Amino acid sequence: MSQSSNQVADDVRFVAKADYLKTLASLRDEGFEMCADLTAVDYLTHPGRNIAPEILGNIKLERFEVVVNLLSLSQRRRVRLRVQVAESDAVIGSAFDLYPGTEAMEREVFDMFGIKFDGHPDLTRILMPEDWHGHPLRKDYGVGNIPVQFKGAAS
């Protein structure tokens, strides 16, 4: 959950994967016309997510979390959805039919995390070369840095 001292806290909702597309459709009818952002987080090496117990009772935390930020232009507010995606079944429905702007965002999540989107028109790599192996933003993928040895340094 997000923290802020005096402001109204962010509206964050935890949604199960099975209800994801239904929730998106109902939020769209409620007035959230635009999907501002769709991304994912890999919680593999996270010490522990700080979530309220009543929410933990309903959902099971998984390795990946798909985070969707919706924006309502008419009501001037935002809502954030957090959907748990298991590593063993890394497929989730695509929001493209509801929000076509998520086409590039879902491609990026697929490229960086390996989460597939069911119903996406063109799920291919977008940032890395098309024949790249591995998903760079996963926590078990190294940064890939080259150890720099400075000239004259004592080794």
Question: Which residues inside 28-47 make contact with another protein, applying CB under 8 A?
Answer: 28-31, 33-37, 39, 41-42, 46-47
Which residues, in sequence order, are CB contacts of 53 under 8 Å at separation 6+? none
Question: Which residues inside 94-123 make contact with another protein, applying CB under 8 A?
Answer: 97-105, 108, 112, 121-122
What is d(CA 64, CA 84) in angstroms, rounded to the nearest whole number? 6
Work out how close the CB of 97 gets to another protein at its nearest, in angstroms, rounded to a whole number: 6
Q: Is 48 in the site for another protein (CB under 8 A)?
A: yes
Q: How far is CA 122 from the centre of its chain?
A: 18
The SS3 of residue 15 is strand
Task: Count the residues of the shown chain that bind another protein, applying the rule CB under 8 A.
Answer: 63
Residue type, 5: S
Query: Going by DSSP bridges, is the β-strand pair 116-118/91-93 parallel, antiparallel, or unpaired?
Result: parallel
Residue type, 136: P
Query: Residue 88 or 133: which CB sits closer to another protein?
Result: 133
Stretch binding another protein (CB under 8 A), from 16-24, 25-33, 55-63, 83-91: 25-33
Which residue, among 106, 60, 109, 65, has the nearest Cα to 83 in the 3D structure?
Answer: 65
Give, for 64, the enclosing helix (H) or strand (E). strand 64-72
DSSP state of 147: P
Q: Is 73 in the site for another protein (CB under 8 A)?
A: yes
**The only residue of 74, 88, 149, 155 in contact with another protein, by rule CB under 8 A:** 74
Work out how close the CB of 138 gets to another protein at its nearest, in angstroms, rounded to a whole number: 10
> Which residues contact another protein (rule: CB under 8 A)?
1-7, 10, 28-31, 33-37, 39, 41-42, 46-50, 67, 69, 71, 73-74, 76, 78, 80, 97-105, 108, 112, 121-122, 124-130, 132, 136-137, 141-146, 148
